[in-house]
Amino acid sequence: MKRLIVALVTVLSLLTVTACGNSNKEKEETASSDVPESITVICNSDEQELFEYIAEKYKEEYDVEVKIINQAYDSTHEKITTTWTGGGEGDVCYVDTPWAAEFGSLGITIGLNDYMSQEYQDGFVDSALDQMYYDEQVQAIPFANNGKWMFYNKAALAEAGYDAPPTTWDELKEMSETLIEKGICKYGIAWGASQAEGLMCDLTTMIYGFGGSWQNEDGTFAFNSQESAAALQFIYDSMQDGWADPASITYSDRDCVDPFLAGDTAFVMNWSYIYEYGNDPANSKVAGDVDICLMPGTGQAVSSSVTGGGGLGVMSTSKYPEYAFEFIEMVTSSEIQQYALETYSSLPTIKSLYEDEELLAANEALGKFYPQYETAHYRPLLVKYSEWSNTVQPLFSGALAGDMTVTEALEQAESASAPFVE
C-alpha cells in the first residue's frame, strides 16, 4: 500500500513536470461573435472612480459588465504581467507611456491599427499617441494626457511678498529660503526621491531642465553629462542645505504631496490631479490656494517636464478584443474626456477639446496646463524599460541619499545601462 501511494505521487509529479515542459501558451479561439458577460479592465487605483463611472455607461450601451481590477501604480505592471502569463482575466490593461514597447515586444498587448479608423487616429494629440507605438503598431490608446507641473501655494507666496511663482530653479530656491525664514512653511519643496518610478519621472524633468537628456538620437544613453550632474546635485544640495525636506529620500512622488497638502511645503512637482485634489477641502488644508505654473527652468532650458498619462491596451489573452476596444473608445470619447477633465483634472488626449473655446473658457485649468506640453520629454523608450529603470533607480536614489557622489552614480548608471541600448 505504501509503495502504491509513493508510486501514485511520483507518477503525478512526473506528469505535471512533463506537462510544464511541453506547455505552450495557445491562443484560444476567440468567439468574437458572442457577447461576453463581462470584460475585465486592469488599471491603477487613480482611475478607479472614473472607470466605474464609465463601466455604468458601458453596461447601459452594451449590456456587458465591466470588472475593474485596480491597485497602486507601483503594483500595476506586475499585476498585468502575472495576469497575462497566468492566463488570468484581463481584456483591457493600463499601459504607462514607457511600457508600450515592452508590452508590444512580449505580445502582452495586440496592435490596434486595424481597430482604428484614420479619423479616430488623427483625433489624438500627436505626442500622446506617438509614445504608444511598437513596431509600427499602436499598442495602447492614450486616455489621459499628463505630465508634471509645478503646483504652488499662492497664499503662502503672497504672505512672503511674492506676487508670481518662480520661473527658474534658483528663484524657487530663493523663495523657499524666504518662506522658511518667515516661518510660513517648514520647507520649500519635498521631492519624490525614493527608489521608485516616480524618481525617474522627476529626474526627466530636472535633467532636461538643466540642459541634459536621457538619450542621443541614435538611442545611446547621454545622461552621464555635466548637465545631468548639475540637476542631481541641485536636488541633493537642496536637502543638505535645508530648504527642501530631507525626508524626501523616503517619499514616492505620491508621498511628497502630503507635506504640500498639509501646508508644510509651498511647492510640489506632480501630476495634474493635484489641482482638483489639492483644492478640495476634504483632502487638503490649503484648499483654494493651490495653483499651477510652468516647471521652472535654468539658463539651459526655459522649462521642462515629463510626459505621462498612459493608455489602454487590449490584452492578447482577451477573448473579446472587439468589446475591449469598445471600452477604450468610450474612455477616449469626447464626452468622457470632458467629464474626466471637469471631475478629475484628467487632461484630454483628443485635439478637439483643446480647440473648444467654450470648454477652455469654462475650464481655466486647461489653459494653464496646456503650455507645459511644449517642453515635456519622454522617459527613455526601451523595450526593457522596466528592467532598465529598476537597475538605475537605486544609483540615483543612492546619490540623493548621499551614499555615493553624483558623478559616481552617473558613471555606474551609464555602465549599467549599456546592455539596454537598442
Residues that bind other proteins (CB under 8 A): 1-2, 5, 8-9, 12-13, 16-17, 20-21, 23-25, 74, 77-78, 81-82, 85, 106-108, 186, 194-196, 245-247, 249-250, 258-259, 264, 384, 386-387, 390, 393-395, 397-398, 401, 403-404
For 47: left if phi > 0, alpha if psi spans -120 to 50, otherwise beta; the answer is: alpha
- The secondary element (H helix, E strand) that includes residue 311 is strand 311-314
Pick 208 or 385: Cβ nearer other proteins: 385
Closer CB to other proteins, 211 or 259, in the complex = 259
**Residue 397: CB minimum distance to other proteins, A:** 5
User: Min. distance of Cβ 44 from other proteins in angstroms?
Assistant: 16
| Between 2 and 357, CB nearer to other proteins | 2
Least distance CB 269 / other proteins (angstroms): 18
> Exposed, middle or buried: residue 32 (CB in 10 Å: 0-12, 13-18, 19+)?
exposed
Nearer to other proteins (CB atom), residue 88 or residue 123: 88
* Least spacing, CB of residue 315 vs other proteins, in Å: 12
**Residue showing cell 501511494:** 5
Pairing of strands 265-270, 149-153: antiparallel
Can you tell me the distance from the alpha carbon of 365 to that of 390, in angstroms, rounded to the nearest whole number? Answer: 34
Residue closer to other proteins, measured from CB, 167 or 316? 316
Give min distance, CB of 323 to other proteins, in A: 23
Q: Which is nearer to other proteins, 23 or 33 (CB)?
A: 23
**DSSP run (H or E) holding 71:** strand 65-71
Closer residue to other proteins (CB): 19 or 164: 19
CB of 398 to other proteins, least distance (A): 3
In the bound complex, what is the minimum distance in angstroms from residue 21's beta carbon to other proteins?
6
Degrees to nearest 5, angle at CA 86 with 389 and 104: 45
Measured distance CA(329)–CA(100) in Å, rounded: 18
Minimum distance, C-beta of residue 321 to other proteins, in the bound complex (Å): 17
Judged on CB neighbours under 10 Å (0-12, 13-18, 19+), 370 is: middle
Smallest gap from Cβ 266 to other proteins, in A, equals: 15
Judged by beta carbon, residue 125 or residue 180, the one nearer other proteins is 180
Contact 409, 396 (CB under 8 A): yes
35 near 64, Cβ under 8 Å? yes
What ranges in 107-194 are assigned the alpha helix state H? 118-122, 126-130, 154-159, 169-181
Minimum CB separation of residue 240 from other proteins in Å reads 12
**Per-residue cell: 76:** 500595476
d(CA 37, CA 92): 15
Q: How far apart are CA 136 and CA 130, in angstroms?
A: 10
Pick 352 or 415: Cβ nearer other proteins: 415
Residue 12 or 35 with smaller CB distance to other proteins: 12
Pairing relationship of beta strands 187-189 and 265-270 according to DSSP bridges? parallel
**What value, to the nearest 5°, has the Cα angle with vertex 312 and ends 274 and 325?**
140
φ, ψ at 292 (rounded to 5°): -120, 145
